[in-house]
Structure formats: C-alpha cells, structure tokens
A and B are shown apart, each in its own frame.
Chain A
Amino acid sequence: MASAGPALQPPAAAIVRPRRESTSSWPLVDRLAYWLCWAVGIGLCVVAVGIVVFMFIKGISALRPSLFVESPSPGVLAEKHSGGFLDPLIGTFILTAIGIGIAAPAGVGIAVWLVEYARPRWLARAVESGIETIAGIPSIVLALFGLLLFARPLFAFLSGSASNGTVGGQSFLNAGIIMSVLALPLVVGASREALLQLPARMREASYALGKTRATTIRRVLLPSSRTGIASGAVLGMGRIIGDTAIILILLGTLKLEGAGGAPVLNTLRGTGSTLSYYIYYYAPSGDGNSPQKAYAAGFVLLMLVLALNALVTRLSKGLSLGTTTWTAKR
C-alpha cells in the first residue's frame, strides 16, 4: 500500500479546462442570461467609449491655445471675447493641492490608527462607520456645512471679510478644507487596505528588534504600503478635481479674486473657480451658456481625470475587480 502511495498522487500539471465552455447543452433561459451578461459588458464599454469619444470630438474642435492663457471675463456674452480658462485651471491645481495636502496625512493617520491601534474597540468601530458615513454625505451638504462653519468670526482668517465685518466664508482655503473631507474616505480606505495586506511577520520582525510601534509604523509599515496610500491619494485628487457643488457654494467666481494681504495668501484667502465650475457655468443650463467653452474645458478636465486614472492603474497593478478561476488548483 505504502509503495503505491506516490502513484496515486494527481499529475503535477493543473487540469486546465477551457475558459469558455460550450453553452449548447444549457437550457434556453440560462443561455439567454449568458448572452445578456455579454450584452451588458459590451454595453458598458459602448457607454464609456461614447462619452470619451463625444468629449474628444467636441472638445478638440472647440479647443484653442488661447483658451489656456486668457482669463475668463464672465460679463461678456460674445464667445470671441469672453476669454479662456486660465484662472479655473490654476484654481483646480491650487484646490487639489490644498485638499490632498490635508486629506493625505489625516487619512493615513486615521488608517494607521484603525489598523495598528484601534483601542478602545468600540471607538474603532464607530470611526469605521463614521468614515463610511462621510463617504455617503452628498458634497453639496458638505459645502453648505462649510459655509455655515467658515462664516463664523472665528474663521475670519481663512477668508476675506467685508468692510462691515461680516465674514464671507468663501475662499480657496475653506473650499480646500471641505474638499479634504470629501477625499478623506478614499485615502483612508486605500491606506487601510494597504496596511491590512502587509504580512504580520513584518511587524513581528520589527518588534523583535525592540522597535516601538510608532517606529515600526514610520520606518516599516508606511514605506511598504506607500503604493496603496498613493493610489488612495490619487483617487482623492480625482474626486476633488471633479467636484462642482463645493466650488459653487464656497468659491463661485470665475476669475481669481484676491482678498488683500501677502501675494500668495491673498489668492488662497480669495475666491476663484475650477474647471468643473467653469464647465457648469458655460453649459447650456448655466449662466454663460456657451457650449463651445464648456466642451473645451470638459475635454481638458476629462484628460486630467484620465491621467489620474492611468496613474491609479499603474500604482495598483495587482489590484483588480477580482475574478474566479474555474481551473482545478493544486
């Protein structure tokens, strides 16, 4: 019996079944469902390609180099003289920088606490569902909350105040802070996943060398989960770039308008806009109603989003929506 043992072992090579089995033996309903799945999958591609191609064709035909270097002049109705989107483009970069500059450290900190400390247990569970709640809060409500918060005299230093002492509550700093709340759940989620995937032996090895938790986190865990953290930050940037509601409430002027004071602070405390707001303004439903401008800015915005998307894909090479194997695994 013992000598026959090895012979009973399965062959070393995995038995690979064809990826697509024949569906000819299936009942009609099952076959219909199978083809419906294909139809839905192809439909999704058609929708995505449709959106991108539409924006490409319309955008490229509307794009002029001058649009990039001219400031918008919102009062002018004639399309020729209403300027470009230089200010919104600068505003987009400023706002993304502020937003992710706050969201990334805060998000990573929260994720580290959730994974590495999480004491007391009830607080950790509450924070976990709190992050999820924040992810579900509409950005327009966040913006309204921000307006209410930053219009208090306490936060007057963040935005310009009128001559009669009332605080406007609208500035790049305020919008950036609220944007960071918008991006926070994405950063926390991605960093948390990345930290959870680190094998326990990395922590144990560091502890065995007599390192404290804080040192372990800073020197071992964070460096080895940096791709996950980076992809979370990029996702957050995508969210910030695309949001319009917060700009509408907390910024809302097409041109950069400073609020007095030092040169850089002047802009940060002042108002302006981003590309997304520019599109909203010049869409047929908005005040500007000049679709050519909206198409051109939409094309640029879509390019930025696609670039960020590509970056996420590069960062998270192994990460995917998941699949199942129907081959026998040995």
Chain B
Amino acid sequence: MSAEAFPPAVPPAAPPHPREARRQRHAAQLTAHRKEAARDRRVEFALGTLAAGTLALIAAMLVTVLVNGWPSFEANGLGWFGNSGDPVLQFRAMQVGTALPGHPLLYFSAWPLIWGTLLCTIGAVVIALVVSTLAAIFITEFAPLPVRRVLEPVVRLLAGVPSVIYGLVGLLLLAPWVNSLISIPRKESVQYVVQLSGEGLLTATLVLTVMILPIMIALISGALAAVPATWREGSVALGVNRWRTIWRVSVRAARPAIVSATVLGTARALGEAIMLAMIGGGRPWAPNPLDGLTFLFEPIQPLAASIVKEFGDNPNTPIGHTVYAIAALLLFSAALLSLAGWAVRQPLKRYGIGI
C-alpha cells in the first residue's frame, strides 16, 4: 500500500453541498427582495412627491397671484377695500389708460363689489342652510323609498348642471318673472340712478341658492345617516316623537357637518363667477338696504363676476393688476374657508362619523 495508490483527491465538480445551495438560493432571493423593496420605496417616493406637488401648487398660486395683484394694493392702500367713487369709472379709466383726475391710474375702490359679494353670498347661504337641512332630514328620515329614488338623482343633477346653464335659465326664465314683479313707479323712482331690469340681487341670490344646495344636502344627509341608530332609538324609546328625535338628537349630532356644509357652500358661492356675471345686472353697484324693497332689485357685480366682466387677457396692465388683486382676495378667502371647514370636521371624526 504505497502513497501512489492513493493520488491526491481532486476537488469534485459535483453539485455543492445542499446547505451551500440553499444559502446561494437564499442570497439570490434576498437580492430580488431587496430590489423589490427598493422599487417599493421608489414608488412611495414618486407618489409622495406627486402629493406634495399639490401643496407646492397652492403655494405657487398664492404667491404669483398676490405678487401680480400687489401694484393695485400698493397704489390704493387700505382704500382698496373702501367705498370712494364708482368702480365703473375706475375700470373704464384703467381700460382706456387715462387716470381719473387727481388719482393714480391704478386708483380703485372695491367696496361695491365686496358688498355685492357679501349680500348675495350671505343671502344664498342662509336660505340654503335652512332648505338643505330640511331636505337632508327629508331624504334620510321621512321620504318613502320611491320618493327617495327620485330625489337622489335630482340632487346629483342639480350638482352637475353647469353654471352657464343656471345663468341662462336665470336670465331667460327667472329674471323676466322678477322684472314683472317690479312696479313701473318703482322703476321710475330710481331711473336716473340705476336701471331695474329683474337682473339683480334677488335673482342672483335665488339662483345662487339652488347652485350651492346640492353639496350642502349631500354633506348634511351623509352625517345624518351616520348618526348611530342606538342614539335615536334611545330617544324614541323614551316616548319622544320622530321629529323631536331627529331635531334634538340627529341634527344636534350632525352639527359639525352642518357648519362644514355652510362653509363649503360659502366657498362655492364666493367663487361663482359666470352665473353672477350673467344675471347680476351688469353694473358694480352697492344695493342699499335703506331703499326698502327696491334694494332687492338693484344690480350687483360681485368680485368673481367682475373678473369675468372686466378682464381682457393681459395680466401686466393696470386692469390686469386690479383683477389679480381681486383674485388674490378671493383666493385667500377660499383658502381660509377650506381651512375652517377642515377644522370644523375634526370633531365628527372622533365619533367615527367621517365624511
């Protein structure tokens, strides 16, 4: 038995030990898994960037609109919000390019527009608040199934009708009717100051009410339906009738939703431009409540409608700066309102009545 009989063993080309193979497979899987995890992170990052982009968009909007409107604020100071002179003349002066005597070219006082906005917005929101609460109660509680089957598409339809069609209907259906309500002596009594034509505060407010109703109804009825049945059953078990139960329990529990619906409705009404430009009466005018009933028929031209009416297409002109100042005011009000709406909705989430 010599050493030659046993040559040194050549490392076999055989498959690796099972344990080693398992380790290799595992390593490959781990690499694949790491790759997938990295892809996952990339997806998360991309989507997160997209979402954060919305915030950037809002910031860019606030800044650029304010910057382009700033010359108007700067030229007028707090007088911008004041009531000095007729905006009609001021807009015309800016369009023509000759300043009003004794004033800079950018001279502008927005009070008639702001007042018009306040009047039609508050009017519409107050009416819509009552109507939408009752309508939401009706839909969630009282309406028999067939009626509810009709009402839901109706609300959705009212939400979907474009504002230009509301304007058309208001202009050609409601305004002539309102016009027929105004007596001739009433028209003659003010004819040297302002023309009453049926297009004005009353018409605008009524159409605006219909426009903001659907979103308010949807929000309020959603909250009413989400009030826990046990709360209502408890009340009914105590012998309280259904209306009282709804009013004292459901509506009370849904109060944050009602407030937030009001806030949303207000935002919608503030921003409505086209319809109000069509049926506001076409003249920046501050209706005076002291005029009695005539007040309701006087023309208005709210802020958003003024942009539609007065703006050409060049942001860097006097009229452009003024219009962007109006837009900045609208933008800041809208942002504040949605923040308020969001804050108001927080208590609802605590009850699990999320909307």
Contacts and interface: CB of A to CB of B under 8 A. Distances in A.
B342 interface: yes
B227 A324 contact: yes
Interface string A146-178: 011101000000000000000011100000000
Contact of A147 (B40, B152, B168, B313): B313
Contacts of B218: 321
B153 interface: yes
Contact of B147 (A41, A55, A130, A245): A41
B162 A129 contact: no
Given A117-B48, A238-B160, A285-B282, A44 B151 contact: yes
A66 to B, nearest CB: 21
A123 B167 contact: no
A208 B50 CA distance: 29
A127 B156 contact: no
Given A33-B243, A321-B155, A113 B51 contact: yes
A302 interface: yes
A243 interface: yes
A60 interface: no
B53 to A, nearest CB: 8
Contacts of B327: 140-141, 144-145
B54 A48 contact: no
A130 B58 contact: yes
A51 B50 contact: no
Contact of B168 (A149, A241, A283, A329): A283
A148 B165 contact: no
B70 interface: no
Contacts of A61: none
Interface stretch (A4-12, A198-206, A257-265, A306-314): A306-314
Interface in A30-63: 30-31, 33-34, 36-38, 40-41, 43-45, 47-52, 54-55, 58
B313 A26 contact: no
A44 B151 CA distance: 8
Q: How large is the interface on A (under 10, 10 to 19, 20 to 34, 35 or more residues)?
A: 35 or more
A149 B324 CA distance: 13
Contact of A44 (B57, B158, B162): B158
B342 A132 contact: yes
Nearest to A144: B327
A137 B315 contact: no
A184 B140 CA distance: 29
B47 A133 contact: no
A168 B316 CA distance: 12
Contact of B50 (A36, A58, A113): A113
Given A41-B147, A148-B65, A184 B54 contact: yes
B64 A145 contact: yes
B338 interface: yes
Contacts, number: 304
A230 interface: no
Interface in A108-144: 109-110, 112-114, 117, 119, 123-124, 126-142, 144
A248 to B, nearest CB: 6
A322 B44 contact: no
B86 interface: no
B224 interface: yes
B65 A44 contact: no
Interface stretch (B12-20, B74-82, B89-97, B272-280): B272-280
B157 to A, nearest CB: 5
Q: Which of A31, A51, A58, A133 counts the most chain B CB atoms within 10 A?
A: A133
A26 B131 CA distance: 22
Interface string B137-172: 111111111011011111111101111111111011
Given A133-B338, A145-B64, A280-B164, A44 B155 contact: yes
Nearest to A20: B144
B39 A242 contact: no
A13 interface: no
Contacts of B153: 309, 313
A94 interface: no
Contact of A323 (B150, B168, B225, B304): B225
Contact of A136 (B65, B145, B163, B337): B337
B213 interface: yes
Given A117-B48, A283-B278, A322-B140, A129 B54 contact: no
Interface string A233-255: 00000100111110011001000
B272 A138 contact: yes
Contacts of A168: 313
B334 A133 contact: yes
Given A37-B142, A140-B327, A242-B162, A324 B229 contact: yes
A293 to B, nearest CB: 11
B21 interface: no
Contacts of B161: 51, 242, 302, 305
B162 A243 contact: yes
A3 interface: no
Given A41-B139, A51-B165, A212-B37, A33 B151 contact: no
24 contacts: A20-B144, A40-B131, A41-B139, A49-B154, A51-B161, A110-B50, A130-B55, A132-B338, A136-B334, A136-B337, A136-B338, A137-B271, A140-B308, A141-B271, A144-B315, A144-B327, A145-B327, A244-B164, A248-B308, A283-B164, A285-B167, A301-B162, A322-B222, A326-B236
Given A130-B58, A132-B342, A302-B165, 4 more contacts: A26-B241, A126-B55, A279-B164, A324-B141
Interface of A: 19-21, 23, 25-26, 30-31, 33-34, 36-38, 40-41, 43-45, 47-52, 54-55, 58, 106, 109-110, 112-114, 117, 119, 123-124, 126-142, 144-145, 147-149, 151, 168-170, 181, 184, 212-215, 217, 238, 241-245, 248-249, 252, 276, 279-280, 283-286, 291, 294-295, 298, 301-302, 305-306, 308-309, 312-313, 320-326, 329
Question: Which A-B residue pairs are the 9 nearest by beta carbons?
Answer: A138-B271, A242-B162, A322-B225, A113-B47, A37-B138, A136-B338, A30-B243, A136-B267, A41-B138
